[in-house]
């Protein structure tokens, strides 16, 4: 739970600090809106993604790679508190557990609704799948555009940042790697 009363109070001070009048019509309710917004944007902080994936199915002897591609996400960059957004592709080689597709989507949702870094988002998704499903391999690709690069600093809108996390066979075995890249082409 975020402390909405405190956010409301402090955001009013931020508005004053930038030289604006927090009592003018358009800004009067903004601190309250921000408090409600932060509750939603950071709702992932109070949820444990491992618990979601732990409700997975037992599926013995299925070792074909499973891919879930193009999962959209919106997150907040922890360095600038500006949005970054894009999509996540996940692939894993099951040993004896597979995850419901909606559960994987939920994991992406939980881990992106936090102050986050793109690199860490990918690592945390891959770790969550590793910890809960014990797969023979995991691959995660995250592609995102960062508002902190588009509207400030180097100002290059449209630039995409792509990160990969590969564990187990998807990292070590060439045929598994090729299959992973094949799955990414399905988008």
Q: Is 111 in the site for Zn ion (CB under 5 A)?
A: no
How many Å is the maximal CA-CA distance in the chain?
65
Nearer to Zn ion, 77 or 110 (CB): 77
Binding test (CB under 5 A) with Zn ion, winner from 10, 14, 148, 161:
148
Contact 66, 94 (CB under 8 A): yes
Structural tokens at position 167: 């564990």
Which residue in the set 41, 68, 77, 129 belongs to the binding site for Zn ion (CB under 5 A)?
Answer: 77
Least CB distance to Zn ion at residue 71 (A) = 21
Three-state DSSP class for 135?
coil
From candidates 4, 80, 96, 184, binder to Zn ion by CB under 5 A: 80
Token digits of residue 120: 């860490």
Cα–Cα distance between 128 and 87 in angstroms, integer?
17
Per-residue contact flags (x/-) with Zn ion for residues 26 to 65, judged by CB under 5 A: ----------------------------------------
Contact 135, 94 (CB under 8 A): yes
Query: Which residue stretch of 39-47, 55-63, 73-81, 100-108 sits at the interface with Zn ion (rule: CB under 5 A)?
Result: 73-81
SS3 at position 86: strand
């Amino acid at each position: 739970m975020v402390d909405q009363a405190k956010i409301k109070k402090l955001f009013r001070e931020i508005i004053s600090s930038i030289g604006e009048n927090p009592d003018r019509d358009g800004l009067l309710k903004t601190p309250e809106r921000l408090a409600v917004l932060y509750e939603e944007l950071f709702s992932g902080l109070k949820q444990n993604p491992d618990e979601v994936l732990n409700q997975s199915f037992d599926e013995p002897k299925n070792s074909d790679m499973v891919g879930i591609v193009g999962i959209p996400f919106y997150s907040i960059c922890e360095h600038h508190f500006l949005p970054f957004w894009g999509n996540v592709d996940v692939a894993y080689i099951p040993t004896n557990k597979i995850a419901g597709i909606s559960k994987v989507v939920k994991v992406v949702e939980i881990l992106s609704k936090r102050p986050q870094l793109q690199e860490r988002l990918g690592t945390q998704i891959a770790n969550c799948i590793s910890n809960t499903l014990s797969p023979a391999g995991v691959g995660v690709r995250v592609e995102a555009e960062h508002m902190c690069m588009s509207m400030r600093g180097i100002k290059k809108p449209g630039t995409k940042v792509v990160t990969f996390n590969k564990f187990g066979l998807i990292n070590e075995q060439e045929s598994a790697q090729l299959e992973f890249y094949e799955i990414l082409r399905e988008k």
